[in-house]
C-alpha cells in the first residue's frame, strides 16, 4: 500500500501581521481573565443588593466568554493561533488580580467595573492598528467595546450618586 504525499496550499486574501496577531492575543487574554474574574466575583460577592449583582456578574461572564470565542475564532480565520491556557492568561493579562476571598458588593462593583474598562482599554489601544490592516476584525472590536462599556455603565450605576459621581455627566 502506498501513501500519497500531498501538500495543502491555501490562498487567503488576508492573513494577520505579527502586530495584529499580538494585539488580538492580548485582547483574548484579557477577555479570558475577565470571564474568570467575573465568576470569582459571582461566587464570593456578599452584601447589599447581592442577588441583582450576582445575576449581573453572570451576564458579564456570558458576554466575556462569547467575545473570547469570537476573538479566538477570528484569530484562526486570519491564521493566528490563539493561546488562552491558564498559564498564559496568568502571565500576560493586563487586569489587576481579583481577591481570593469574600468581597463586599460595593467593592465588587468597583473591581468588576475596573476589569471591564481594562478590557475595553485594551480593545481601544489596539483598535487603530487592527483597523488599518483589517477593518473586518476592527468591527469585532467595536462590538466588544460597545457591549462591555454598556455592562460597565450598568454595574457602575450601583455605586454612583446622582450628579456627584466622577466622571461628571455631560448634559447635551
Q: Has residue 75 been placed in a domain?
A: yes
Asked if the bond preceding 167 is cis, omega within 30° of 0, the reply is yes
Q: Has residue 78 been placed in a domain?
A: yes
* pLDDT tens profile 73-129: 999 999 999 999 999 999 999 999 999 999 999 999 999 999 999 999 999 999 999
The whole-angstrom separation of Cα 138 and Cα 118 is 18
Q: What residue numbers bound the domain in which 77 lies?
A: 18-156
* pLDDT tens profile 45-76: 999 999 999 999 999 999 999 999 999 999 99
pTM of this prediction? 0.91
Query: Which position has the higher pLDDT, 71 or 6?
Result: 71
Q: Has residue 43 been placed in a domain?
A: yes
Number of domains in the chain: 1
* CATH code for the domain in which residue 32 is found: 1.20.1260.10
- 113-118 contact pairs (CB < 8 A, 24+): 113/152, 113/155, 113/156, 115/33, 115/34, 115/37, 115/38, 116/34, 116/60, 116/148, 116/149, 116/151, 116/152, 116/155, 117/149, 117/152, 118/30, 118/34, 118/94
Amino acid at each position: 500500500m502506498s501513501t500519497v504525499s500531498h501538500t495543502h496550499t491555501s490562498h487567503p486574501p488576508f492573513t494577520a501581521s505579527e502586530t495584529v496577531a499580538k494585539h488580538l492575543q492580548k485582547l483574548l487574554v484579557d477577555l479570558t481573565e475577565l470571564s474568570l474574574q467575573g465568576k470569582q466575583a459571582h461566587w464570593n460577592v456578599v452584601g447589599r443588593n447581592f442577588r441583582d449583582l450576582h445575576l449581573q456578574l453572570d451576564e458579564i461572564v456570558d458576554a466575556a466568554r462569547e467575545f473570547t470565542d469570537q476573538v479566538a475564532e477570528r484569530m484562526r480565520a486570519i491564521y493566528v493561533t490563539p493561546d488562552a491556557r491558564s498559564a498564559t492568561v496568568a502571565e500576560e493579562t493586563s487586569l489587576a488580580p481579583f481577591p481570593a476571598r469574600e468581597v463586599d458588593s460595593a467593592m465588587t462593583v468597583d473591581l468588576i467595573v475596573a476589569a471591564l474598562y481594562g478590557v475595553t482599554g485594551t480593545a481601544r489601544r489596539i483598535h487603530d492598528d487592527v483597523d488599518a490592516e483589517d477593518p473586518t476584525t476592527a468591527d469585532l472590536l467595536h462590538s466588544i467595546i460597545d457591549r462591555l462599556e454598556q455592562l460597565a455603565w450598568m454595574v457602575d450605576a450601583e455605586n454612583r450618586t446622582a450628579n456627584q459621581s466622577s466622571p461628571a455627566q455631560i448634559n447635551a
